[in-house]
């Protein structure tokens, strides 16, 4: 009998607005994907028709506050959604296979939130800033993972989306940015990588090559300037490689990063934070 690999899935929840809970009327206004992402109709195109008394500014405040709290990950999804009641309620969790691409998000949005809108228009409205937004989210994720060490031994300086002038004090137009650069004593650490859960395998391979090339550029300029740099690659959601295609992407990415960094970390490993702690010289950090 042929054994099939189990699908790797995550949860999503439909988010409803109910201006008057006693009336029982509600409208799907957004979707919570996984435990850290919220998509919603920022134009409130259908919500405005639900009730004349709906305060759009208050609704936007609730949604943006929820989005920020989901991203910070300090509380469970269920507790955050409960705190938004009665104005906002949600469905029970449903399942969707990983990775949750922009195409999948647009399909969900079209089916549940904006049924009369063509998918192309939804993709344009939701994801016209996707590359910028996804990069900003990734930078925040790297910062959250790395600077937790700072609670034990603060870094001297932290640069987000760092460019050569931040790292070496020189302007180099042809060298890209890294998600995070941190300085501790006389050592500079450059931290970047990829999130395997946020893109297709093909996109992940392409992004990994870009990150590796950027690390290579910094190694070369660091040697030229007489200031060696410590490069660290993070691979997020490495546990998704139990799927054959994603496993291939994961293994290739880790191997490529190891060839061009001083340290490569699969953040799903229990020892991940301790590895980073030891490397930057903050021993004894608990995982």
For helices 244-258 and 201-224, give the axis angle rounded to 10 degrees: 0
Report whether 134 contacts 198 (CB < 8 A). Answer: yes
CATH number for the domain whose boundaries are 131-280: 3.40.1350
| pLDDT computed for residue 125 by the predictor | 58
d(CA 68, CA 197): 19
Model confidence at 149: pLDDT above 80 = no
Q: Which residue has the higher pLDDT, 55 or 98?
A: 55
What are the tens digits of pLDDT across the range 244-253?
Answer: 777 888 899 9
Q: What is the mean pLDDT of the chain?
A: 81
Q: How far apart are alpha carbons 128 and 101 in whole angstroms?
A: 14
Whole-number pLDDT of residue 120: 56
pLDDT tens per residue, range 189-206: 999 999 887 777 777 888
Residue 238: closest CA among 254, 219, 257, 255: 254
pLDDT tens profile 9-59: 789 999 999 988 778 789 999 999 888 788 888 778 787 777 777 888 889
The domain locations on the chain are: 9-127, 131-280
44 contacts 36 by C-beta, under 8 angstroms:
no
Element spanning 79, H or E: helix 77-82
pLDDT for residue 213 is more than 90: yes
Range among 85-99, 108-122, 128-142 rated most confident: 85-99
Name the pLDDT band for 211 (thresholds 50, 70, 90). Answer: very high
Q: Phi and psi (nearest 5°) for 100?
A: -90, 90
User: Left (φ > 0), alpha (ψ -120 to 50) or beta: where does 140 sit?
Assistant: alpha
Q: Is the pLDDT of residue 140 over 80?
A: yes
Q: Which two tokens stand for residue 103?
A: 């195409």
Would you place residue 287 in the very low, low, confident or very high pLDDT band (cuts 50, 70, 90)?
Answer: very low
Q: Is beta strand 187-195 parallel, antiparallel or unpaired with respect to 230-236?
A: parallel
Instruction: State the pLDDT at residue 118.
Output: 64
Is residue 244 a contact partner of residue 5, using CB atoms and an 8 Å limit? yes
Looking at the DSSP assignment, which residues form a beta bridge with residue 235?
194, 266
Confidence of residue 286 (pLDDT cuts 50, 70, 90): very low
Q: Please indicate whether residue 244 or residue 138 has the higher confidence score (pLDDT).
A: 138
Q: H helices of 147-243, where?
A: 164-167, 201-224
CB 238 within 8 A of CB 250: yes
Percent of the chain clearing pLDDT 70 (strictly above): 83
């Amino acid at each position: 009998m042929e054994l099939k690999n189990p699908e790797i899935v995550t949860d999503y929840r439909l988010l409803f607005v109910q201006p008057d809970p006693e009336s029982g009327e509600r409208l799907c206004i957004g979707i919570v994907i996984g435990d850290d992402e919220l998509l919603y109709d920022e134009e409130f195109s259908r919500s405005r028709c639900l009730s004349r008394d709906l305060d759009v500014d208050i609704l936007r405040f609730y949604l943006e506050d929820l989005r920020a709290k989901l991203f910070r990950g300090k509380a469970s999804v269920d507790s955050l959604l409960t705190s938004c009641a009665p104005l906002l309620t949600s469905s029970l969790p449903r399942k969707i296979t990983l990775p949750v691409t922009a195409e999948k998000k647009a399909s969900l949005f079209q089916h549940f939130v904006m049924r009369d809108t063509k998918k192309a228009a939804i993709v344009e409205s939701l994801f016209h800033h996707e590359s910028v937004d996804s990069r900003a989210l990734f930078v925040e994720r790297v910062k959250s993972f790395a600077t937790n060490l700072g609670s034990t031994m603060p870094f001297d300086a932290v640069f987000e989306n760092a460019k050569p002038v931040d790292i070496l004090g020189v302007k180099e137009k042809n060298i890209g940015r890294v998600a995070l650069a941190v300085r501790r004593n006389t050592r500079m650490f450059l931290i970047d990588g990829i999130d395997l859960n946020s893109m297709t395998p093909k996109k992940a391979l392409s992004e990994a090559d870009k990150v590796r090339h950027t690390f290579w550029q910094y190694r070369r300029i660091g040697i030229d300037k007489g200031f060696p740099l410590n490069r660290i690659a993070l691979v997020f959601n490495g546990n998704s490689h139990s799927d054959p295609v994603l496993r291939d992407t994961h293994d290739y990415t880790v191997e490529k990063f190891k060839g061009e960094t001083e340290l490569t970390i699969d953040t799903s490993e229990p020892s991940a934070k301790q590895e980073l702690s030891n490397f930057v010289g903050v021993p004894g950090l608990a995982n």
